[in-house]
């Protein structure tokens, strides 16, 4: 069977065959569970990865972006196991936290040489911050106003920068900026299974494959992505939404109670932006595009297939909705695709 076939539904039909050429991209197969009453997320994942550099890797580095000072989270790696044909039987690894806990280095039992593949199984616990419930809050990460915004909630494989004659090769461990553009990631493929309280309305990267009600008032959702630089998880029990189609992409706008008019306006502006930029820059290859409010005051932030806008853009700064949303949608080309 083709291990990449499961990712095709995240792409528009004309682009689905391109997935076949992406076999060296990291693949994340992730299971997460959200516990809003404890402000906690637990996760486990298997990452399929290839050494795409020309240099042997003695360790792998995963970034723990929630530990960034401006994110304010606490991500603990509970276990890490190297596996695949390269490491058989699988071997547990010690986690060496680095860069102010924003990275974890995992020393391998043997070098992973150029072109070799392996798997890494990681389990983790994330405690996310709770901010004020005020519309003026600017919080890229954590909970505010009944919204839980969790970009980069998982250990993310760092970018390896090969030696260039002056500097030896190494893993990128910069600690980001306060502007919000915190991540530097290799494009990857994700399949994410999330178990949440059934009243939560999640907004994510990728395309929803299934949603199932399970015991205990919870629901299980499965998403897959095409090539994406990260996976966003953002959710609220308050979200309402509407969708339409444009250029073969399903565009969905979410809004909070009392914001329906602006939510529909955001849908129109997102569709117009998608059409104009597709004509000007090139086709948007993904099946889904989403826009949603977030605790970002009157600012915006882009993530793969998602534009988040501050709650006050829907209220006091309504005149900013169109230019800000057009700006964020443009990032789907100039950040995510390119």
Distance CA 32, CA 43 (A): 4
Distance CA 77, CA 72 (A): 16
DSSP 51: -
Average pLDDT over residues 61-83: 97
Give the rounded percent of residues in the chain with a pLDDT score beyond 70. 99
Tens digits of per-residue pLDDT, 201-233? 999 999 999 999 999 999 999 999 999 999 999
Say if residue 179 is exposed, middle or buried (CB neighbours under 10 Å; 0-12, 13-18, 19+). Answer: exposed
CA dihedral 252, 257, 259, 261 (to 10 degrees): 70
Q: What is the pLDDT of residue 167?
A: 74
Give the rounded percent of residues in the chain with a pLDDT score beyond 90. 94
Q: Which residues neighbour 207 within 8 Å (Cβ) at sequence distance 6 or greater? A: 9, 10, 223, 224, 225, 286, 287, 288
DSSP-derived secondary structure for 77-130? EEEEEEESTTSSS-EE--EEEETTTTEEEEEEEEEE-TT-EEEEEEEEEEE--B
Q: What is the pLDDT of residue 330?
A: 98
Specify which residues 105 forms β-bridges with: 61, 96
Q: What is the pLDDT of residue 251?
A: 99
Q: Is the peptide bond before 89 cis (omega within 30 degrees of 0)?
A: yes
Structural domains of the chain ordered from first start: 5-235 (2.60.40.1730), 240-337 (1.10.390.10)
Distance CA 210, CA 220 (A): 8
Tens digits of per-residue pLDDT, 238-256? 999 999 999 999 999 999 9
Tens digits of per-residue pLDDT, 3-55? 999 999 999 999 999 999 999 999 999 999 999 999 999 999 999 999 999 99
CA of residue 59 relative to chain centroid, distance: 24
Q: What is the pLDDT of residue 180?
A: 63
Give me 188's structure tokens.
């990857």
- At 182, the pLDDT band (50, 70, 90 cuts) reads confident
Please compute, for residue 114, the number of CA atoms within 13 A of its CA located in the half-sphere on the CB side: 4
Q: How many helices (H) and strands (E) does the chain have?
A: 2, 23
Q: Kindly tell me if the per-residue pLDDT of 154 is higher than 90.
A: yes
Distance CA 313, CA 323 (A): 11
Q: What is the pLDDT of residue 179?
A: 63
Mean pLDDT, the chain, rounded, equals 96
- For the chain, the residue count is 338
Distance CA 14, CA 240 (A): 31
Provide the H-helix boundaries in 138-196.
none
Distance CA 63, CA 157 (A): 6
Q: Kindly tell me if the per-residue pLDDT of 189 is higher than 70.
A: yes
| Kind plus residue range of the DSSP H or E element containing 191 | strand 189-197
DSSP reduced 3-state for 242:
strand
Residue with tokens 């196991």: 81
Tens digits of per-residue pLDDT, 109-128? 999 999 999 999 999 999 99
Q: Kindly tell me if the per-residue pLDDT of 178 is higher than 70.
A: no
Give me 152's structure tokens.
């980069």
Q: What is the pLDDT of residue 176?
A: 72
State residue 251 phi and psi, 5-degree precision.
Answer: -105, 125
Distance CA 338, CA 335 (A): 6
Q: What is the pLDDT of residue 172?
A: 93
CB of 226 closer than 8 Å to CB of 11: yes
């Amino acid at each position: 069977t083709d291990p990449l076939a499961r990712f095709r539904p995240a792409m528009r039909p004309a682009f689905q065959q391109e997935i076949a050429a992406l076999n060296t991209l990291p693949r994340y197969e992730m299971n997460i569970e959200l516990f809003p009453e404890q402000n906690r997320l637990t996760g486990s994942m298997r990452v399929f990865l290839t050494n795409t550099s020309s240099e042997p890797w003695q360790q792998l580095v995963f970034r723990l972006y929630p530990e960034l000072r401006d994110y304010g989270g606490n991500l603990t790696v509970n276990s890490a196991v190297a596996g695949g044909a390269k490491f058989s039987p699988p071997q547990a690894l010690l986690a060496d936290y680095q860069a102010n806990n924003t990275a974890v280095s995992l020393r391998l039992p043997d070098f992973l040489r150029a072109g070799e593949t392996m798997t890494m199984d990681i389990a983790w616990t994330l405690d996310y911050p709770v901010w004020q419930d005020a519309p003026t809050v600017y919080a890229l990460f954590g909970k505010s106003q009944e919204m839980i915004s969790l970009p980069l909630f998982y250990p993310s494989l760092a970018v390896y920068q090969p030696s260039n004659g002056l500097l030896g090769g190494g893993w990128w461990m910069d600690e980001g900026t306060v502007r919000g553009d915190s991540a530097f990631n290799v494009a990857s493929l994700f399949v994410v299974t999330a178990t949440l309280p059934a009243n939560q309305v999640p907004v994510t990267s990728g395309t929803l494959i299934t949603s199932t009600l399970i015991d205990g008032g919870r629901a299980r959702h499965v998403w897959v992505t095409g090539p994406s630089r990260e996976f966003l998880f953002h959710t609220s029990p308050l979200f309402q939404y509407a969708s339409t189609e444009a250029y073969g992409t399903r565009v969905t706008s979410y809004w909070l109670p009392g914001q329906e008019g602006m939510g529909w306006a955001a849908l129109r502006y997102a569709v117009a932006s998608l059409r104009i930029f597709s004509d000007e820059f090139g086709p948007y290859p993904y099946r889904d595009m989403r826009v949603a409010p977030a605790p970002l005051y009157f600012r915006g932030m882009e993530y793969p297939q998602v534009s988040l806008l501050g709650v006050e853009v829907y209220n006091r700064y309504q005149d900013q909705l169109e230019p800000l949303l057009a700006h964020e949608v443009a990032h789907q080309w100039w950040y995510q695709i390119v």
